[in-house]
Amino acid sequence: MRLQGFLIRVGSLALGGMVVAGCLPAAAQNVTTTPETGVTPNTLLLYRADFLPGKEEAYQQTEADIVQGYAGAKIPIYWSALQAVTGPPHVLYFDGFDNFGDIEKAGADLAQGLDAHPEIAALQQKLADLVSASRTTLAFRRDDLGYRLNKIDLAKANYVRVSIFQFRAGYEDEFSEAVRTRARMYETNDIDTPWMFYQVHSGFSLPTYIEFQPMNSLSEIDDALERNAKARRPGGAGSLSAQKWIREADLSIDIQIYRVSQSMSHESAMEAAEAGAKRDSAPTARARKYTLRVKP
């Protein structure tokens, strides 16, 4: 029941659940950093909340009140909210862990904090009433599909480009090879646009892969388009149109741009940590690594 409550997310769906909104309870995190993958999380939990028509401002204000509640109660749960720039109005919460077991541990940590502060749970129920639809997804990182993972710094991201790829079962190898081919092309042309790929474990009915490209500013899209145009070879082996499997697999791609919302993100612990590394506890420092840092 702890895990179930965690996945439901009190902050968007039901009373007594767990914040899937990018929560990073320090005690639950065991971040493993390597020169190859940097600080990209091994396991990912995503929660998307679509707003009821006309309720976007009410949702943002209620979430901001929840953020203040967590800060005042000193509940050690921190999250980043990604607000949609494109597509229908919605928010996407990003949460990284080292493994799936840590998700269950996080649920227990939060339950203890909310038991002592029922007023916050009431606010989260109010937030749930403003949601028209939601989806929770669990995924794991595919190191072989990432590109320059060691250059990704989530703490500096102001925007995130999220691409969701879905296709019929049986074409996983073809898809993976296509992504690796693109990475080789990027490397050959020294295109500095890092990405990380996650394979969905649960939350979608079809094989699904999610690509994240953190960006400091939208101008990085201009740079990537220019470099891609110079590197592209029409009709080449890596061209999507040249790959028969795409048509057979019925590949679909959904691409959205998000900005990191300052008002809906609880990041006071990260700001305090940056103020003085010596005051950081080891768990707090680990939690900070996976949180998309919001800049003023």
Domain of 242: which CATH number?
A: 3.30.70
Same domain, 82 and 158: no
Based on the domain organization, do 134 and 6 belong to the same domain?
yes
Higher pLDDT, 112 or 99: 99
**Does residue 281 sit within a domain?**
yes
Q: How many domains does the chain have?
A: 2
Please tell me whether residues 100 and 207 are part of one structural domain. Answer: no
Residue 28 is predicted with a pLDDT of 28
Examine residue 45 and state whether it is found in any structural domain, yes or no.
Answer: yes
Q: CA 116 to CA 221: how far, in whole Å?
A: 45
Least confident among 1-10, 164-173, 248-257: 1-10
- Give the pLDDT score at 120: 93
91 lies in the same domain as 206:
no
Q: Which residues contact 25 (CB under 8 A, 6 or more apart)?
A: 76, 77, 105, 106, 109, 110, 287
117 plus 219 within the same structural domain: no
Task: Check whether 121 has a pLDDT greater than 80.
Answer: yes
54 and 105 belong to one structural domain: yes
Same-domain status, 221 and 135: no
Q: Is the dihedral of CA 214, 212, 150, 193 positive or negative?
A: negative
Q: Is residue 295 part of a domain?
A: no
CA-based end-to-end distance of the chain? 38
The CA distances from residue 133 to 5, 66, 128, in Å, are 17, 20, 10
Predicted confidence at residue 145, as pLDDT, reads 96
pTM: 0.79
Residues 175 and 244 grouped into a single domain: yes
Same domain, residue pair 136 and 147: no
**E-assigned strands of the chain?**
43-51, 79-84, 90-97, 131-141, 159-166, 196-202, 208-215, 252-266
Same domain (yes/no): 131, 200: no
pLDDT exceeds 80 at position 268: no
> What's the mean pLDDT in 150-169?
91
Same domain, 152 and 239: yes
Q: What's the CATH number where 87 sits?
A: 3.30.70.100
Q: pLDDT tens digit string along 190-243? A: 888 899 999 999 999 999 999 999 999 998 888 778 877 766 655 444 455 457
When the pLDDT of each residue in the chain is averaged and rounded to a whole number, the result is: 78
CB atoms within 10 A of CB 68: 15
Find the domain containing 37 and state its range: 2-140+260-289
% of the chain beyond a pLDDT of 90? 47
In a domain, 203, yes or no: yes
**Is 296 among the domain residues?**
no
Give the per-residue pLDDT at 227.
Answer: 74
Mean pLDDT along residues 107-125: 87
* β-pair partners for 209: 165, 199
130, 83: one domain: yes
